[in-house]
Protein backbone atom coordinates (compact mmCIF):
# COMPACT_ATOMS: atom_id res chain seq x y z
CA UNK A 1 0.00 0.00 0.00
CA UNK A 2 2.83 2.38 0.83
CA UNK A 3 4.93 2.81 -2.27
CA UNK A 4 6.32 6.24 -1.44
CA UNK A 5 7.53 6.56 2.15
CA UNK A 6 8.74 10.12 1.78
CA UNK A 7 6.64 12.93 0.43
CA UNK A 8 2.97 12.94 -0.41
CA UNK A 9 1.06 11.74 -3.42
CA UNK A 10 -0.63 14.31 -5.63
CA UNK A 11 -4.06 13.33 -4.33
CA UNK A 12 -2.97 13.78 -0.71
CA UNK A 13 -1.60 17.24 -1.51
CA UNK A 14 -4.83 18.23 -3.27
CA UNK A 15 -6.93 16.99 -0.35
CA UNK A 16 -4.72 18.86 2.13
CA UNK A 17 -4.96 22.10 0.12
CA UNK A 18 -8.72 21.67 -0.16
CA UNK A 19 -9.14 21.20 3.60
CA UNK A 20 -6.82 24.11 4.39
CA UNK A 21 -8.75 26.41 2.05
CA UNK A 22 -12.05 25.45 3.71
CA UNK A 23 -10.67 26.08 7.20
CA UNK A 24 -9.10 29.37 6.11
CA UNK A 25 -12.36 30.53 4.54
CA UNK A 26 -14.31 29.63 7.69
CA UNK A 27 -11.86 31.51 9.93
CA UNK A 28 -11.91 34.49 7.56
CA UNK A 29 -15.70 34.65 7.57
CA UNK A 30 -15.83 34.42 11.37
CA UNK A 31 -13.14 37.09 11.69
CA UNK A 32 -14.96 39.48 9.34
CA UNK A 33 -18.28 38.90 11.10
CA UNK A 34 -16.80 39.97 14.43
CA UNK A 35 -15.66 43.34 13.14
In a domain, 13, yes or no: yes
| Distance between start and end Cα atoms, the chain | 48
Over residues 20-32, the mean pLDDT reads 97
In a domain, 16, yes or no: yes
Contact 16, 8 (CB under 8 A): yes
In a domain, 2, yes or no: no
The band of 26, judged by pLDDT with boundaries at 50, 70 and 90, is very high
Summary mean pLDDT of the chain: 88
Q: What is the pLDDT of residue 17?
A: 97
- List of residues 6+ apart from 19 with CB closer than 8 A: none
Domain of 18? 9-35
Residue 2 has phi, psi (to 5 degrees) of: -100, 100
In a domain, 1, yes or no: no
Residue 3 has phi, psi (to 5 degrees) of: -85, -40
In a domain, 30, yes or no: yes
Max Cα–Cα distance, the chain, nearest Å: 48
In a domain, 34, yes or no: yes
**Is the pLDDT confidence value at 1 over 60?**
no
- Under DSSP, is residue 27 helix (H, G, I), strand (E, B) or coil? helix
Total tally of structural domains belonging to the chain: 1
Note the pLDDT tens digit of each residue in 3-18: 666 777 899 999 999 9
Amino acid sequence: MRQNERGFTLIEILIALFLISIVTAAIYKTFRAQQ
